[in-house]
């Protein structure tokens, strides 16, 4: 099993000309060792977001060239495990987050992780569910910082990118150039204060090259559903794109005319927010596997 560390290489952009730091074969399992989203700059509750060197924030370990992948393919990343450090943190700062205009001053809260629980306070202990916040590939043309989500993946901040689930990403460049990081020990839909429990950790994932699938944007597979993810400058635009992709997927996968798939989505498929705080927003349409067991081939 390959092990790739942030010490080997970190990218702060997803661009069409990424230089890989390693190569993996289809079907290979890889461990990505990741810093926290702030690159280790927050160590105590005296360290706040307004003090950071932003050029060292939201780094993704990689990129890794996936041998044999080419434009038009899809890569599937099966999340086998995510191990996290003994503590993480949350931070808020004025002007950022859903209620950023109500934040009076920057604050940081250090949160210990004990026996699988995040110790928010003496009274509040929450079971952790680690997930990958940033996961992406080289895009077709424009360069994106790792702060942004998009069709290439990136800063998706989607809590279902977790152990036991899979992410499907369209390939735009030879070798895909996969990178990931920004682990959260716990995060709710929306990530409303702009941080989950930011934490260092190690992601174990199996990477597979798939051909014969038609996909324009990321898709997440859980045990009981398919989630069409879309990101855009506003939440309304992201919701429209996610719904468009999910309805098309449902029409093909359930062998329905488009108008019936659209109606069915309105009564059986939840439209949810992944995150409402990044420079672009991310939404997801959840299609139950009871309606569509397998991904339709092109």
- Domain extent listing, the chain: 2-210, 219-288
Report pLDDT for 1. 87
Q: Which CATH number fits domain 219-288: 3.20.20.30, 3.10.28.20, 3.40.50.970, 3.30.420.40?
A: 3.10.28.20
pLDDT for 264: 98
Per the rule left: phi > 0, alpha: psi between -120 and 50, beta: everything else, 198 is beta
Asked whether the whole model's pTM tops 0.85, one would answer yes
Could you list the beta-strand ranges (E) of 93-186. 107-114, 117-119, 125-127, 131-136, 144-145, 149-150, 153-155, 166-170, 178-184
Measured between alpha carbons, how far is 44 from 109 in angstroms, rounded to an integer? 8
Q: What is the CATH T-level fold of the domain 2-210, as seen in this structure?
A: Jelly Rolls (2.60.120)
Query: For residues 272-294, b (16+ Cβ closer than 10 Å) or e, as one string?
Result: bbbbbbbebbbbbbbbeeebbee
pLDDT number for residue 214: 87
Tens-digit pLDDT profile for the chain (298 aa)?
A: 889 999 999 999 999 999 999 999 999 999 999 999 999 999 999 999 999 999 999 999 999 999 999 999 999 999 999 999 999 999 999 999 999 999 999 999 999 999 999 999 999 999 999 999 999 999 999 999 999 999 999 999 999 999 999 999 999 999 999 999 999 999 999 999 999 999 999 999 999 999 999 899 999 999 999 999 999 999 999 999 999 999 999 999 999 999 999 999 999 999 999 999 999 999 999 999 999 989 988 7
Cα 10 from Cα 109, distance rounded (Å): 26
Give kind and range of the element (H or E) at residue 144.
strand 144-145
């Amino acid at each position: 099993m390959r092990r790739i560390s942030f010490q080997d290489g970190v990218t702060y952009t997803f661009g069409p000309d990424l230089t890989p730091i390693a190569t993996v074969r289809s079907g290979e399992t890889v461990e990505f060792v990741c810093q926290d989203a702030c690159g280790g700059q927050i160590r105590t509750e005296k360290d706040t977001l307004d003090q950071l060197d932003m050029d060292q924030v939201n780094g993704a370990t990689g990129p890794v060239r996936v041998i044999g992948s080419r434009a038009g393919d899809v890569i599937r990343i099966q999340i086998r495990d995510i191990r996290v450090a003994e503590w993480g943190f949350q931070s808020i700062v004025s002007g950022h987050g859903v209620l950023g205009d109500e934040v009076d001053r920057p604050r940081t809260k250090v949160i210990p992780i004990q026996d699988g629980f995040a110790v928010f306070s003496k009274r509040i202990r929450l079971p952790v569910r680690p997930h990958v916040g940033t996961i992406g590939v080289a895009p077709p043309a424009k360069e994106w910082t790792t702060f942004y989500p998009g069709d290439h993946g990136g800063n998706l901040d989607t809590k279902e990118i977790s152990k036991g689930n899979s992410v499907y990403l369209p390939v735009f460049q030879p070798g895909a150039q996969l990178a990931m990081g920004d682990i959260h020990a716990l995060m709710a839909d929306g990530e409303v204060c702009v941080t989950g429990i930011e934490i260092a950790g190690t992601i174990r994932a199996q990477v597979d090259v798939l051909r014969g699938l038609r996909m324009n944007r990321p898709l997440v597979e859980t045990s009981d559903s398919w989630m069409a993810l879309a990101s855009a400058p506003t939440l309304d635009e992201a919701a429209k794109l996610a719904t468009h992709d999910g309805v098309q997927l449902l029409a093909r996968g359930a062998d329905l005319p488009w108008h019936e798939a659209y109606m069915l989505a309105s009564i059986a498929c939840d439209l949810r927010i992944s995150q409402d705080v990044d420079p672009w927003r991310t939404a997801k349409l959840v299609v139950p596997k009871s309606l569509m067991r397998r991904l339709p081939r092109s």
